[in-house]
Chains A and B, each alone.
Chain A
């Protein structure tokens, strides 16, 4: 016994280390999941129903979809058009009761800006900042600071991974088998990647509120070929906000194509949808299936 103990790498037996290592991975995964859950718990689903179309669009597809929602509303109101050289231009007066983002986009159109350059426009950027601030104040999105804190758990996972690498190197030079440790180390790095990714900032309440809103406004889904003239500018803006850029193509394909609208933005299957990446945040619990790997130590 004493002999074998003296041969253990770092004085810890293989099975003991495997058990400790597996437990460390599971602990990081669970703590990160619990923490993220708390960070993204804010707001109430009812608050989503009180948002304007562009705020809803921001929850669904970020800055880009918020701009698209403004474009949809202004286009449906007959305020802007696109030119073959891909620039926007105003065709009518700015409608009454518009948002700061509408005004910013309309003024950018007055300067014959291209739709894809809107997000870089100073005025549009400040209107988007205002939109984001409003959403954060409503508690429906987590602040960038909080999201950064949540991502710190990725560093913990990297530390666990590096420990595994060190043990594999030490163990190999010591002539010990590392067949179980290598895949566990790999899992630690996978977990790190998962925790470091830039997930959506929408809280669970926001995601639930969005789902409710989509159900209530099924008639705006592009597959219903909605009569946008009947639903008006507000309906067009909300359609884009809830069902993504595909709504713009359904409403005015020539305009959408000329304005170089990214069709997948905000689509439920598209990568841009923060709601999609958000739900995977709660599947963090899947990380605890690493616990099965811990059993290999026996």
Chain B
């Protein structure tokens, strides 16, 4: 395999592995917890490193996972005192743990092959140099296997506990009643997030892990209402971001992980603007047409209310009606023109009058609106 292909495979595996637990972080409104965890796992890594004195020991992952769970736990403890709001609790816990990690690293820098830059920023381009050998044969970069294992664990967890995750996410109260133990699922998920983050940090750096955990799920969230489909879609979006990011990075000769994060943002933005049902364009268009429809109805009601009254000439006069509906003149003209084209109103003797069709429509819409209450 060429290094090119290997890097892209790693990028795709990392992105997909991150997006799986990310779906539940987004749906459980815990996105910022990923921010906290990805920072604090550094402390777990540092402590485990000093215990094992090795950067490759699997204990590093254990240490990081424990620290991730501790972060969640501390945030909840702080939040449960009711002295601090949830966002402030996160904002206090993770800088503290992160600072401790940085201080330990700087104190022992020089004697340690662990610098903050590599943890925070990562470098995917170096991943193919770290190879795994089996029986003396080179079987590919180590990152493929380590991240691949994490991806499989994530898949097994989500498929195996799909029902539990679903119910705990959407109705925690019901889950408790049915005996699903939301807190067990919650902490398992957080452990998974920590393990995924620590697996990914070497390749993409801890801060960009956030982009891969949150970006694809919220992109998918704008496209579907079905949880299963959202998971598949966000894995797909993650993979696309990975490949696009790599191509971008190679073209401009810049940081691969950074480019992947940028692509995550770009893809999200495109979906945000152009998504078929929930996109910005559709929404603005829908709001505009709703406003227009509502204005048409309002005008019809106004005419219906006053037709045949003694002040008909004032309320419904072609030149004076604007003072009564109080709209912008151009807007009024546009509405009037449409209504005339639809043959709902006509003008007779300088007074706006309803056609039979228009009257029926006004009565029908009025009843529809009233019956809604």
Query: Is chain B a partner of chain A in the same complex?
Result: no
